[in-house]
Structure 1
């Protein structure tokens, strides 16, 4: 079960790697990686270039960081125990990577309990272990990270001060986001380009003391909630037969395995929240241009004509969301990226003025009126409702989403207004094959002219107005909802995105957060009595998927949303509800 390029007979490398982590010289061989469902093959020329790209990555990995072969040849369904049990990490490295969130890690470094170098080494080692069991990385930069960490330690030793609130904290970054001295691409091998300097958000994080050590996998075209591209297919660590979501799926898998504790993702249809939810971590999509996205995309991105993307944190705790947001916005990024709305950050600690007589009004959305939830997601929502009902500070209300049928019929044109021309063109020229979900997303689409795009915008704005007025009429402050119709999807099956994309169409902030619910053994949970009859063909398809696939072990997460530009209030509201919901962090 190795990646296609890595399974070719006799494919080895004779390069010598002088590792900066252990000072050892190691003969590099191919890097086996667990793969379950192969990605499609392209032209001979493309496959040769793809193999060279994978070989270049593999040549950096010393043999002492390669997991025992039996994990590759006969992998368990749940690979989350492997980093701890494989024997590569020592007790100190296990403690560093498992016992801290980013906030605690920054405090430990600032207190002199840990050095930036020791932390960097631990996460460098763990991240490459994680890659071998989930295929989550696209680039691995130990030398750059250790050089930066040593600079930070030297600064701390010389001044007794930290560089900033993220001093020594390792941060992982999604592949398309430019990071100095690395490559970025748009999910196609042909778009790969070297980046001589940081994008603005990365530069701000670096100025706050962050250490960058890896970049993470994304899907072809960055427009799926499956992470599959020229690097292969990324796996969900809790069940490798399931997807970690997308398009920030590499980030999700890496953080779920504790190869990172804080990463940067992007979201235009659920691409932060869905992968965060599929693996059971936090993922925050702010209102568009709350955070800077200058230089994030090399060239035009047609979807932005009607739906704006967001960037945000993926992490292991809610307070790390606040740390990330506060740190970046404290640097006034609107000066260098005038698209950013210059609002001060008010997150954790915000006084919501909630009391027993003025309770937080939480609307619970049990379905979108189109497709019913698969059983464990409904179970998680009902459990959350039960918990919240006992809180004296929360008022629970049923929330019925306005009709989304009409807007759903327009979303494909909004996301792909050029009819997929640019995607097909890059694949035709390079010989890269169209992947299954790429073909699905482009099926039947034709280019939309300028007038057509303007009409889509009119419809979008009309929907936003109607939704906002209905939100006020239902009198709720925040909306608790599913983030996906089910748990983590089986590979190549995630085709219904309304539960996540709704908040992108509305441009409202939303956060995915983990619950204690997990999917049990196949066949032990069924649709409730009275709900057996499908509402429509889409609903029937989703029901069939539930019966066909094994989702055992998949975590269930939920989603909380607030009105546009109420981002800090959203984080404060979830924090207020956190103890009641019995969230781990």
Structure 2
């Protein structure tokens, strides 16, 4: 038995290699080359048009060109597939590769557009990548378990069926950590996924394969899942936009998962994209497909244009944001603090305001377990130290007490949020919260051991949208000496920071809104993103 699992892995990896077109293989740079994001342009594999296609970060623009027939779905799918395969060779981000199947789908869509002059749906012709927990009929979904090799899906996940209805082209599946319950991406089947901006750093998890792939522009839009930060952490570590919606906005039916039956804190599906337009288009398209008719737990809520217009938030004028500078447990690293300062300054310059200089959500009172990563002890033999899983409740009664605490916590936060009307000066409570996604940027492999900045919003079921802000700058982000620490964890995370370790790492934040307020969260993130871009443009002119 000791060697049986290794034989299964060898066979699975060999089949994966066989699924890659040989003409798409490149000469990979040495391991010492950390930033590999420019390799696609330098490797000589792509035509000028393919580079233009995959370099188009705005999903709305891609869809416009597909709908007009200027770019065919076969062209777009081929270009992104090639770039996904290049990304995989550089950062090990893929699991299932099914080129012929995806190109056949793209050809069908092109034929439909040519014969009818109409698109199949709002995602017509767009390649979309999927986290390796979303089954596609006829393909394996291992989710990082060797024991699931050879188990082929008999049906699609509901969200995959909806993507087909919407005209999309599912084209690759992406790597995850074993069990999904780690904030990094490593398993015994496919190995470790690296961060394309700095391969000595983690891509995050558990949607780390998605984060790395979209970060390499190997996919314009991907679907991940989030139970404690698993969409947001890979998004922020890879310089992307990503949304953790409230439970039920995206159908979860027939996805595979760990800890099925646990419903104290529920996992949700959501998008990762190189553009905010990708996040919005995905959420709007899913809602308009009425997913509650396919998944009994999906919320019966259509896309709300009034909510997106920020009718309850002053029409988007003079918004008031609360800013979490730290959560009372861990003080963020200098690049994260600088991102908060940049965002605050950009919003004030754009006419918005902060509720207070040091607005804090009371995250330290949640009682939520901090989601820790794993330290790899011996990758060759697949031995890991798992520090995440907390002791299980001793009885149903203990579980009920936990769920009562969760209920009371949500009530406490609701009342606290409402009370901020006394501080804002707008006649409204705080419109949204801007917060770190982690106390650091992407960290060296095996060191991502804190998810408190994301997990609290899962406990509250608040939607949160990630947006990129800047990159680590060794000069601007010099260490800030500290003499007082909250506890040993705060001190250890502070001592982890060395600017030279984090070179080129993306830095981003999350915008958090109230439960089921995804449309407003997306719209307010657009406001923040526009303010940041305007501020950067002014600096560039100086």
What is the TM-score normalised by the length of structure 2?
Answer: 0.90
Q: Report the equivalent of 1:188.
A: 145
| Residues in 2 aligned to 1:164 and 1:446: alpha-carbon distance in whole angstroms | 45
Matched, 1:320 2:281: no
Query: What SS does structure 2 have at the residue aligned with 1:172?
Result: strand
Change (3 A) 1:153 1:506: same
Give how far 1:233 is off. 0.4
Aligned counterpart in structure 2 of residue 519 of structure 1, from 466, 472, 486: 472
Aligned counterpart in structure 1 of residue 401 of structure 2, from 450, 455, 469: 455
Matched, 1:545 2:496: yes
Q: How does 1:389-404 map to 2 (within 5 A)?
A: 389-398=348-357, 400-404=359-363
Give how far 1:407 is off. 2.9
Query: What SS does structure 2 have at the residue aligned with 1:471?
Result: helix
Give the conservation status (yes or no) of the 8 Å contact 2:121–2:166. Answer: yes
CA displacement, residues 132-155 of structure 1 (integer Å, 9 cap, x when unaligned): 000000011101001101111111
Give how far 1:190 is off. 0.8
Change (3 A) 1:467 1:105: same
Matched, 1:504 2:458: yes
Give how far 1:116 is off. 1.0
Aligned counterpart in structure 1 of residue 485 of structure 2, from 526, 531, 534: 534
Give the conservation status (yes or no) of the 8 Å contact 2:120–2:165. Answer: yes
Q: Report the equivalent of 2:329.
A: 370
Give how far 1:65 is off. 1.2
Q: Report the equivalent of 1:566.
A: 517
Give how far 1:402 is off. 4.6
Query: What SS does structure 2 have at the residue aligned with 1:184?
Result: coil
In structure 1, the gaps of 5 or more residues are 1-41, 417-430
Matched, 1:301 2:247: no
Q: Report the equivalent of 1:205.
A: 163
Give the conservation status (yes or no) of the 8 Å contact 1:220–1:435. Answer: no
Change (3 A) 1:152 1:387: same
Q: Report the equivalent of 1:261.
A: 220
Query: What SS does structure 1 have at the residue aligned with 2:266?
Result: coil
Q: Report the equivalent of 1:341.
A: 299
Change (3 A) 1:182 1:371: same
Give how far 1:524 is off. 6.8
Aligned counterpart in structure 2 of residue 331 of structure 1, from 268, 283, 289: 289
Give the conservation status (yes or no) of the 8 Å contact 1:361–1:397. Answer: no
| Residues in 1 aligned to 2:350 and 2:311: alpha-carbon distance in whole angstroms | 15
| Residues in 2 aligned to 1:298 and 1:93: alpha-carbon distance in whole angstroms | 35
Matched, 1:440 2:382: no
Change (3 A) 1:546 1:188: same
Give the conservation status (yes or no) of the 8 Å contact 1:217–1:249. Answer: yes
Give the conservation status (yes or no) of the 8 Å contact 1:218–1:229. Answer: yes
| Residues in 2 aligned to 1:354 and 1:406: alpha-carbon distance in whole angstroms | 28
Give how far 1:47 is off. 1.6
Greater alpha carbon shift after TM alignment, 287-296 vs 471-480: 471-480
Aligned counterpart in structure 2 of residue 147 of structure 1, from 82, 104, 112: 104
Give how far 1:509 is off. 0.2
Matched, 1:471 2:417: yes
Greater alpha carbon shift after TM alignment, 186-195 vs 370-379: 186-195
In structure 2, the gaps of 5 or more residues are 373-379, 422-429, 538-542
Change (3 A) 1:524 1:579: closer
CA displacement, residues 41-85 of structure 1 (integer Å, 9 cap, x when unaligned): x9422222111111110012233211115x1x4441101011111
Change (3 A) 1:511 1:211: same
Change (3 A) 1:527 1:76: closer
Matched, 1:119 2:82: no
Change (3 A) 1:305 1:90: same
Change (3 A) 1:548 1:299: closer
Change (3 A) 1:432 1:290: farther
Query: What SS does structure 1 have at the residue aligned with 2:222?
Result: strand
Greater alpha carbon shift after TM alignment, 255-264 vs 329-338: 329-338
CA displacement, residues 169-193 of structure 1 (integer Å, 9 cap, x when unaligned): 0000000111222211333121342
CA displacement, residues 195-248 of structure 1 (integer Å, 9 cap, x when unaligned): 132111111111111011110000011011100012010000000000111000
Question: How many aligned positions are there?
Answer: 518
Give the conservation status (yes or no) of the 8 Å contact 1:355–1:393. Answer: no
Query: What SS does structure 2 have at the residue aligned with 1:266?
Result: strand
| Residues in 2 aligned to 1:520 and 1:74: alpha-carbon distance in whole angstroms | 22
Change (3 A) 1:103 1:181: farther
Give how far 1:99 is off. 2.1
Query: What SS does structure 2 have at the residue aligned with 1:435?
Result: strand
| Residues in 2 aligned to 1:238 and 1:511: alpha-carbon distance in whole angstroms | 21
CA displacement, residues 509-567 of structure 1 (integer Å, 9 cap, x when unaligned): 0011111x21124x8734435x4322211101101211497011001001000011111
CA displacement, residues 296-333 of structure 1 (integer Å, 9 cap, x when unaligned): 1268525x331011111110111211110111111111
| Residues in 2 aligned to 1:549 and 1:44: alpha-carbon distance in whole angstroms | 40
Q: Report the equivalent of 1:22.
A: none
| Residues in 2 aligned to 1:434 and 1:283: alpha-carbon distance in whole angstroms | 31
Query: What SS does structure 1 have at the residue aligned with 2:524?
Result: helix
Query: What SS does structure 1 have at the residue aligned with 2:356?
Result: strand
Give how far 1:399 is off. 5.2
Change (3 A) 1:524 1:103: closer
Change (3 A) 1:216 1:541: same
Q: Report the equivalent of 1:310.
A: 268
Aligned counterpart in structure 1 of residue 124 of structure 2, from 167, 172, 193: 167
Give the conservation status (yes or no) of the 8 Å contact 1:365–1:399. Answer: yes
